[in-house]
Amino acid sequence: MDINLDPSRDDLPLMANTSHLLVKHYVLDLDVDFGSRVLEGNIVLFFGDGNRCKKQSSSSQETFQMESEEAYILRTAEPCHVPKMDSNTFSPKMGHREFAVFGKSDQDAFDNDGNHDNKEHDSESSSSKYCCDTGNHGREDFLLVLDCCDLSVLKVEEVDVAAVPDLEKFTKAPNLTAAPEKRRCEIVRDLVALPADAWREQLDCYTRCSQAPGCGELLFDSDKWSLQIRKKGVPTAADFPHAIRIWYKTKPEGQSVTWTSDQDGRPCVYTMGSPINNRALFPCQEPPVAMSTWQATVRAAASFVVLMSGEKSAKPTPLREGYMSWHYYVTMPMPASTFTIAVGCWTEMKPKTSPLDDLTEHTLPLRPSDADFSPHIIFLSQSTLTGTSHLCGTRLCHEIAHAWFGLAIGARDWTEEWLSEGFATHLEDIFWAEAQQLPPHEALEQQELRACLRWHRLQDELQNSPEGMQVLRPNKEKTGHVSASGASVVKNGLNPEKGFMQVHYLKGYFLLRFLARTLGEETYFPFLRKFVHLFHGQLILSQDFLQMLLESIPENKRFGLSVENIVGDWLECPGIPKALQEERKAKDCSPSRLVRQVGSEVAKWIRVNRRPGKRQRRKREAAFEKLSPDQIVLLLEWLLEQKTLSPQTLHRLQQTYHLQEQDAEVRHRWCELVIKHKYTKAYDQVKRFLQEDQAMGIYLYGELMVSEDARLQQLAHRCFELVKGHMDKASAQVVTEMLF
């Protein structure tokens, strides 16, 4: 595996060697420093056996040589002094246990990556090949590889869990004759294997073990994408320390963490949706198979609120000198990428009632042992909060759907993004109808309208994207495959354009809609409940879902569907599947009521636009119907197909629907019309959209530049100069390529 991948264009490498050791629990202990824009502290990792160890028998004598893609040369770290502190001494950088303190002179000990670089013992640097032997015959040190990027690693040490008292209540009786290293590994193996109903005791044990002293430093090194750790003289994963502590701090430029200001100019920091996931927040195992629980203690100034994707709302603990400590935890194993933090001057708003409150109880089955399981934290753009509640409601429904598809059930191969986004998009409509308490016929009409909108978006996207990025299962027969160590890549994972594509949402949605309509919703949705029950807490591939679906239906009622033809037609081919083309042709011939209503209004606007003079307009003044936000979006999309709209028509269009007061989806289409027809009176509205709806405005920059109008191009450049400092890196890069 080439570790020097282009971070702007290539696939995302998942470097962790999960076949040998799997992180079962993380304990983070961090301080938030807005002055230097870093999170600093330590993380303790508790390991269980990796996938390969599970597949092998204990008597196996086979050894494994690491592939060349995982070959590294280590620097040997010298001991790093951590000053002892009096227990009565307090610093806001300490919290409830000691932190390493480095003075100015210590900066000389950092390499270019910010890692503690000790080169005294170069003669001890090992061979570039390391044996990943899980038996007893390895000759080289075992190398633990973690996903890591843009972190300053200060120190790595083994944790002396054997020094923690009273663990024998929850673990097997210690083998007092065993070597201390083996005893520590046995304790952690027993701890991570505790049953789910003992989660409280397990969490307490993790907490106490994470506070245990270190018992020896470990050798470490890093490159662009990973942190590599070894213990001299330990040749196997089985004998490698199963509890390690890593002292580190993030970097201001790290892509997992966004440091910015809120609307009132107050500092805030959050992690959300980074292409590289959380590897620039903490060293971790990124492959989806690395399902783990976690707990975190985060300290910040008392004026800030710390929110995290924990299972319960945290109550802060006051510390001295104006600092507060916040503690969160998760007891359901999930990929490390689901860990989220947001620190800022947040205000809690509690609406009295909401139709969304009951969704998680009435729509799909939940975790039997935890009936209040739900998305622990949801990020919404401020763009969803303007206009009516429609856009915010549908987006919330989409994110709530991820509680099942994305969190409770995840994709085993991240290239199969449709398993998360396609399901969430399909269920979004079901949830939104439930939230509005619509009768069945109105719910169906609304869903048909939204299907029409998505069809337009899918057509537009497929016309303007490379075929390679239109495929829902790009790895085809190799989907889910990893190297012998567990490492793999996410195809197009670092392509900044991928983040703005909706093909996985839209094509996945239409596939599920096709299956539900073909097999019958009365068959499909009861099956979906069973599927969620069976695969809750597991990772799946497309064929897992499709095979179980078709096996649950008698062969004579499958309408000729098979896993093979669904995969071939929908998942592994670019473009629009034949079945979808045929469905949409039928819908064009017989549109639903809400779509017909929009078509009638479009015809009125075309007639208005063609009227020659004022006298004629007064004689036959058109009366326009009231439309829903989705209908207005569709109307504007159809009007975008008109070659020319006069300034008078655009002015009346704006007044009729109060477009500047509508939600962001409507205003985006309105801005497209303004740009296409160079309606100068509304240029300020385009400028406002680009400044206040940054993520949704990315596409408009391209429209402004291809307009070949100097004034519009200048508007694009001026707006970008104003907002680029607040944009995420991927968005800024895409816009830069449009403008320059």
Cite the active site residues: 399
Instruction: Give dist(CA 343, CA 385) in Å, integer.
Output: 20
Copy the structure tokens of residue 314: 């945290």
Question: What 3-state DSSP class applies to 727?
Answer: coil
What is the biggest distance separating any 2 CA atoms in the chain, rounded to whole angstroms?
104
Angle at 517 between CA 511 and CA 520, to 5 degrees: 130
Contact in structure between 462 and 576 (CB atoms under 8 Å): yes
| N-to-C CA span, the chain | 33
- Nearest residue to 159 (alpha-carbon basis) of 281, 18, 33, 29: 29
- Nearest residue to 79 (alpha-carbon basis) of 139, 157, 23: 157
- Nearest residue to 360 (alpha-carbon basis) of 369, 349, 373: 373
Contacts of 368 (CB under 8 A, 6+ apart): none
Question: What 3-state DSSP class applies to 198?
Answer: helix
User: Within its chain, how far is the Cα of 616 from the centroid?
Assistant: 56
Question: What 3-state DSSP class applies to 167?
Answer: helix
Contact in structure between 667 and 659 (CB atoms under 8 Å): yes
Copy the structure tokens of residue 710: 């100097």
- The helix (H) or strand (E) run that includes residue 190 is helix 180-192
CA atoms within 13 A on the CB side of 443: 14
Residues β-bridged to residue 295:
27, 329
Contact in structure between 371 and 358 (CB atoms under 8 Å): no
Q: Is 571 exposed, middle or buried (0-12, 13-18, 19+ CB in 10 A)?
A: buried
Contact in structure between 537 and 408 (CB atoms under 8 Å): yes
The count of other CB atoms within 10 Å of the CB of residue 246 is 23
Dihedrals φ, ψ of 498, to 5°?
Answer: -60, -35
- Nearest residue to 102 (alpha-carbon basis) of 299, 249, 227, 218: 249
Strands of 169-322 (E only): list them: 214-217, 219-222, 226-230, 243-250, 258-261, 267-270, 291-301, 305-308, 317-319
Listing DSSP states for 559-604 in one string gives: TT--HHHHIIIIISSSS--HHHHHHHHHHHHS--HHHHHHHHHHHH
Question: What 3-state DSSP class applies to 580?
Answer: helix
Copy the structure tokens of residue 576: 């629009």
